[in-house]
Amino acid sequence: MQTLEYANSELNKYYAKVVGGACGIRLKNAASGHPFDDRITIDVEKGKGTIEGSNERAVLIGVYKFFYELGCRFVRPGKDGEILVRRSAENCNVKKTYAPKCRYRGICSEGAISEENVTEMVEWLPKIGMNSYFLQFVDGHLFFEKWYRHKESSSLPPEPYSVAASRRHYADAVEAIKRCGLIFQSVGHGWTTEPLGYVTYGDTCSRDEDIQPRHRPLFALKDGRRGFFDDKPGDTQLCYSNSEARAAVTDGIVAYLRSHPETDMLHFWLADGINNHCECEACKKRLPSEWYVTMLNELDKKLTKERIDTKIVFLIYCDLLFAPRDVTLENSDRFVMMYAPIARNYFQTLYTDENFAAAVSAPPYVRNRNRHPQTGGEYLYYLQEWQKKIRCDSFVFDYHLMTFPYGGEPSFTKISRILYEDMGALEKAGMNGNVSCQLQRIFLPTPLPTYVMAERLFGSNRSFEKIETECLGAAFGEQSGKITEFLHKAEKFYLAACMRGETAAGRADVVEKYEQLLESARAGLSFTDENKTVDRSLKNLEYFIEMQRLFAAALKRKASGENNDEEKRALFRFLDERELSVQPYEDTLFRKEGLKSWI
């Protein structure tokens, strides 16, 4: 009932702003179908009628879709991310049914984040038709501490901060997720160490010297020794042929779910990284994926005995890309397969006819001597091999909005086009949605990438250009046309052969032309009091242009073979000093890493 009450409060709040007067719309939860599927029917005439959903979350999404149909737009998180129109009750007529194309439409926590960043993202997701939020790891400390300790900032001093504070932020975020009725996904990595009492991530993570003697035999044998791989708990596998090691993991998951019944989907991943599996003779008899599926079956039996019906998400990633040969899931209804093509090329669409045609072979598994797939065809081959062996629900876990937008093509135009194509082709790949592993603060220079992703996951068949026009038109108002033109030209700059490293010639000249483009764009901005959302968008763009101007100065120096230390200092000083002014929209820590890759 919590989400239905929230939906009703949101309906009344926005109705008062858009229409005014008493709201004559009734909300109805049909409570039908799969709990993760959203079906919505809006039947409103002259401001009166019903909004019905297949669950409480669908009702909330339906409320926002009603206002969308009236002309409102929700372009980014926060109060300055919405464009509201005025309508008379006489003109409030919406009759529409929605059945989203994909079951899983979610975001995963990443980057440097505050509690407010997460809460605002969570509250924004149903406004754009998304239905799930994934809080990574047991307490999110790895991500919260990056913000509150102001990692690598020369202007903001670290705040006093603790794991206990992260746990409070995590709990508050869960409360927001449940209030919005989103599918709550949690944890991921950490199960190979946390159940044994070790801290996996963050500034208090355990070290190899902390391993108790009785636990050392449980860890993977790598290069003749057992312990933390490269002294990193999160990258450390266990000796999966050891039944005691497997039991430690599965018992730990059962204990976690006993005390966290709010979890809708629990991610059970093995350790992060590649080429870090056990080299003992017993482990070498089976592929890592075969030991993994063995543990999944063991876990299912324990959860069934405990009458815990939480869905378990398993990860196809790195060394686990290689499908099992002789084991399969015994209860596929328990599980959801998650495919994570982390090393793919984000300059290109993955799910193309060409890549599917090339998905006929790929290198076989060689223990601790593997490489990431080199082509889209190889990635799809590994996916299809898993799909042949195991049939269960599934979604993609992809990284379009992690480092690529800052280090690949920062106008966000290219990655928005890739998202448009990838999200539109998931059904062709046999996948039931996407959970985006992405920075939470990635709305500068524009909110276009996440907006496009949400539209396509929901099922929009409109052209990319129409979605782009809608999003940027709402964000920038009357100036959206010239701003779109500027962003397209910026995209061409970053896609130039000399910028992609395909040729060494001509970079200085190309950068000089980019500087001219930036100056022209800045001079063309006109700040008005049109509304707070447009004003904020223009300020974000102005910030982006100035940052790019400083970046171009450093890049031109480097391209000319000159020392650019002074220009780099000016760039990073600007970013640090202005960080708070753009905090909800820009992850400065990751932006700096992206810029460093160029200069």
Instruction: List the CATH number of the domain containing 73.
Output: 3.30.379
- Residue 322 domain-assigned (yes or no): no
Give the integer Cα–Cα distance in Å for 437 and 424. 18
Do you know the residue count of the chain?
Answer: 599
Boundary-marking domain end, from 37, 67, 98: 98
Q: Is the CB of residue 151 less than 8 Å from the CB of residue 143?
A: no
445 prior amide bond cis, ω within 30? yes
- Residue 566 domain-assigned (yes or no): yes
Identity of residue 91: N
Within a 10 A sphere around the Cβ of 531, how many other Cβ atoms?
A: 14
- Residue 251 domain-assigned (yes or no): no
| φ, ψ for residue 554, nearest 5 deg | -70, -40
Q: Which residue do the tokens 């060494």 mark?
A: 504
Which of helix, strand or coil describes residue 95?
strand
Q: Is the CB of residue 32 less than 8 Å from the CB of residue 26?
A: no
Give the integer Cα–Cα distance in Å for 131 and 598. 36
Tokens of 474: 């709402």
Give the integer Cα–Cα distance in Å for 520 and 540. 17
Instruction: Output the DSSP codes for 372-406.
Output: ---SHHHHHHHHHHHHHH---EEEEEE-TTSSHHH
Identity of residue 7: A
DSSP bridge pairs for 517: none
Q: What residues contact 200, with CB distance under 8 A and at least 6 apart? A: 137, 189, 190, 193, 194, 206, 233, 234
Q: Is the CB of residue 129 less than 8 Å from the CB of residue 100?
A: yes
User: What burial letters (b/e) apply to 420-449, b meaning 16+ CB within 10 Å?
Assistant: bbbbbbbeebebbbbbbbbbbbbbbbbbbb
Give the integer Cα–Cα distance in Å for 195 and 208. 16
Q: What residues contact 535, with CB distance under 8 A and at least 6 apart? A: 80, 527, 528, 529
Give the integer Cα–Cα distance in Å for 139 and 201. 10
Give the integer Cα–Cα distance in Å for 510 and 341. 33
The vertex-485 CA angle with 479 and 491, nearest 5°, equals 135
- Residue 210 domain-assigned (yes or no): no
Judging by DSSP bridges, how do beta strands 393-398 and 335-339 pair with one another? parallel
- Residue 236 domain-assigned (yes or no): no
Give the integer Cα–Cα distance in Å for 290 and 277. 13
Give the integer Cα–Cα distance in Å for 511 and 199. 46
Which of helix, strand or coil describes residue 86?
coil
Q: What residues contact 334, with CB distance under 8 A and at least 6 apart? A: 300, 303, 304, 311, 312
Nearest to 217 by CA among 200, 196, 235, 231: 196
Q: What is the pLDDT along the chain (599 residues), one digit of tens a residue?
A: 699 999 999 999 999 999 999 999 999 999 999 999 999 999 999 999 999 999 999 999 999 999 999 999 999 999 999 999 999 999 999 999 999 999 999 999 999 999 999 999 999 999 999 999 999 999 999 999 999 999 999 999 999 999 999 999 999 999 999 999 999 999 999 999 999 999 999 888 999 999 999 999 999 999 999 999 999 999 999 999 999 999 999 999 999 999 999 999 999 999 999 999 999 999 999 999 999 999 999 999 999 999 999 999 999 999 999 999 999 999 999 999 999 999 999 999 999 999 999 999 999 999 999 999 999 999 999 999 999 999 999 999 999 999 888 989 999 999 999 999 999 999 999 999 999 999 999 999 999 999 999 999 999 999 999 999 999 999 999 999 999 999 999 999 999 988 888 887 778 899 999 999 999 999 999 987 778 999 999 999 999 999 999 999 999 999 999 999 999 999 999 999 999 999 999 999 999 999 999 99
- Residue 482 domain-assigned (yes or no): yes
Q: How many CA atoms within 13 Å lie on the side-chain side of 263?
A: 29
Q: Is the CB of residue 215 less than 8 Å from the CB of residue 249?
A: no
Helix or strand run (H / E) with residue 354: helix 353-358
| φ, ψ for residue 24, nearest 5 deg | -105, 25
Q: Is the CB of residue 29 less than 8 Å from the CB of residue 2?
A: no
Identity of residue 381: Y
Which segments of 235-306 does DSSP mark as H helices, in order?
Answer: 243-259, 288-305
Q: Is the CB of residue 465 less than 8 Å from the CB of residue 487?
A: no
Give the integer Cα–Cα distance in Å for 503 and 501. 5
Nearest to 122 by CA among 176, 66, 78: 176
| φ, ψ for residue 95, nearest 5 deg | -130, 105
Q: State in Å, rounded, how far the first CA of the chain is from the last one.
A: 53
For the chain, what is the domain count?
A: 2
Q: Which residue do the tokens 């929700």 mark?
A: 74
Give the integer Cα–Cα distance in Å for 585 and 152. 18
- Residue 42 domain-assigned (yes or no): yes
Tokens of 192: 């190979």
Domain of residue 527 covers 475-596
Tokens of 529: 């009091």
Tokens of 284: 């070498």
Tokens of 30: 């049909």
Boundary-marking domain end, from 98, 128, 143: 98
Boundary-marking domain end, from 55, 70, 98: 98
pTM for the model stands at 0.97
- Residue 65 domain-assigned (yes or no): yes
State the pLDDT at residue 1. Answer: 63
Nearest to 545 by CA among 407, 449, 444, 424: 444
Give the integer Cα–Cα distance in Å for 199 and 211. 11
Judging by DSSP bridges, how do beta strands 393-398 and 225-226 pair with one another? unpaired
